Amino acid sequence: MTAEDAGFDSLGLHPDLVSSLAGLGYEAPTPIQTAAIPQMISGRDLLCQAATGTGKTAAFALPIVSGIGEHRSGLPTALVLAPTRELCVQVAEAVHRYGRPFGVRTLPVYGGQPIGRQITALKRGVDIVVATPGRALDLLNRKSLKLNDVATVVLDEADEMLDMGFAEDIEEILSQAPADRQTVMFSATMPKRILRIAKHHLDDPLRIEIEREVPTGDAGPKIRQVAYVVARPYKAAALGRILDVETPAATLVFCRTRAEVDQLAETLNGRGYRAEALHGGMDQSMRDRVMGRLRSGGADLLVATDVAARGLDVDHLTHVVNFDVPAAPESYVHRIGRVGRGDRTGTAITIAEPRERRQLAAIERSTGGNIEIGTLPTSAQLRERRLELTRASLAVSCLDDDLERYRPLLEALTEDAGIEQVALAAIKTAHLATVGEQGEAEIPEAPEPRTARADKGRRSGWNKRDDETDRRRDKGGPGQSGKSRRGGPPAPGKKRIFINAGNDAGIRPADIVGAIANETGLPGSQIGPIDIRARHTTVDVPDTEAAAVIKALGRTRVKGQRVKARKDRDR
């Protein structure tokens, strides 16, 4: 029997645990489990390179649970360090699930939760502690977390912990653990700093490398990778258009900064998506509510920073979007690894500025993958897609068995108009209610990176002048025509209105739509896109209604406060 054909019963796990795994639906070990579990049971230190989604949690959790005896001191025998609260909880849940039949006591400890409760739980006694480095060190300094009996220390997502600045914490924690412990490191990448820690804290570790499986032949790659090159002011509008065409079930969008997360989430909400923001500026209760809505289907799009999204695992995730090109190929690999797991397929979308083409090429070279350069849907294609969504929605409605009760209304309407006219009016109403009829301005084609004249022996790409122009654009200086608008210029027939209140005042798209619709009677389908910034908001309305909207906003309150509105200036 080959390693690939072997089951869990061949890996040296306790027989009762193997039986329990069968009850949990585990049929065969993954490559990382096959390679790591016997070595961990033998007590060997390990340095494992394995991507998210390869089954690494079970690879270290199962041998730990299998090795816990019946007689326990009440002090932890294993410590697992994870970079984020979310991953900490996820790992603890998995360990608890494996160890529940054997009474294994597992405790997740992380920041954002009352430390007193965690101290009390440690006093009662636990077998396995899963912790973020910062909270683990805090508990160690308080003498509440005792490592005297720890036989195994696991560093999960080690590269991510170092990226987040936990290097010193990890060094201190390892220095306080027993010298004869087993130490196991899991990391998606192996930069030199990981190897340095391994050299100092691991004893003759076995190196295990597991590649993410990529189907061959007719199956094609599990993750479709596509990039759209878009000028900076049009990125949000481009993303909205791409999502409209892709119609993903659940999407994770990565942004670089907290401010960008909040702004993009508001923009996408204004476009009709149920978008949630997630970043380090939110307390734990807010983060839990956001994740609850995403997992329950109450939200279909999560906009997050890298740090906030680490460790997230959403089963129904179909799309990952890089709103900016990641600075390092490793970050790109981490991000897109959240889709295409198991037998599922997924799509990774990157919104790149023209100057970021070289970064895309570097990612391709580093990962060996193929990133297709896509063409943005045109306004006409978007209209066709929206009509198709309306057709699909109506086709489903036609199968309903309660349509007969609407016959009296149909008969009343056809007394004054033909049945075809009534049907067209009903389709128009359904279309406006389903996807709206917002005008879409064309997004200009992004300029190609300049090359030297006639390509005289120089590499293609941006020259110094181009780079300087881009830097000025990013800072809003010369070279930027007017203020940067994520949605681009207003659509034909629309006028943009400026309102002197925004995120800092708690303004949300619904507040703007409600204020305008209630005061002017303008249908919500004709209001937007809405762009909410820290201290101001812009909203597009029909050109013929702009004066009435400005007057109406001046006499009402938005979010309980007086605001001033005017036609937006193209500065």
Residue 86 in this model has a pLDDT that exceeds 80? no
Model confidence at 10: pLDDT above 50? yes
What pLDDT digit, counting tens, does each position of 522-561 carry? 777 678 888 888 888 999 998 888 998 998 888 877 876 7
52 confidence band (pLDDT: 50, 70, 90)? low
pLDDT at 570: 57
Q: What is the token pair recorded at 235? A: 């990125």
pLDDT at 226 over 90: yes
Pull the structure tokens for residue 555. 């006499």
Averaged pLDDT, 470-490: 42
Kindly tell me if the per-residue pLDDT of 429 is higher than 50.
Answer: yes
In the chain, residues under CATH classification 3.30.70.330 are: 494-567
Q: What percent of the chain has pLDDT over 90?
A: 27
Distances (CA, A) of 368 to 328, 355, 363, 555, 561: 14, 21, 8, 59, 54
Tell me if the pTM is above 0.75: no
Range of weakest confidence among 17-31, 139-153, 490-504, 509-523: 509-523
Question: Which residue is it, tokens 């762009």?
Answer: 531
pLDDT at 38 over 80: yes
The share of the chain scoring above pLDDT 70, in percent, equals 82
Q: Of 215 and 207, which is predicted with more confidence?
A: 207
Q: What is the model's pLDDT at position 313?
A: 61
Which of 153-167, 261-275, 433-447 has the lowest average pLDDT? Answer: 433-447
For the ranges 15-29, 118-132, 278-292, 402-416, the maximum mean pLDDT occurs at: 118-132
pLDDT on residue 560: 67
Specify the 3-state DSSP secondary structure of 389: helix
CATH architecture of 494-567: 2-Layer Sandwich (3.30)
Does the pLDDT of residue 467 top 90, yes or no?
Answer: no
Maximum average pLDDT range among 77-91, 296-310, 480-494: 77-91
Whose CA is closest to 561, among 523, 521, 517, 504? Answer: 504
8-210 topology per CATH:
Rossmann fold (3.40.50)
User: Is the pLDDT score of 430 beyond 80?
Assistant: no
pLDDT for position 380: 72
Mean pLDDT of 311-315: 62
Of 52-61, 171-180, 417-426, 518-527, where does mean pLDDT reach its minimum? 518-527
306 sits in which H/E element:
helix 306-309
3-state DSSP helix/strand/coil % of the chain, to nearest 5: 45, 15, 40
Q: How far is CA 524 from CA 60, 432, 559, in A?
A: 53, 10, 18
Residues of the chain with CATH 3.40.50.300: 8-210
The listed range with the strongest mean pLDDT (29-38, 250-259, 340-349, 381-390) is 29-38
CB 155, CB 161: distance < 8 Å:
yes
* pLDDT confidence of residue 459: 33
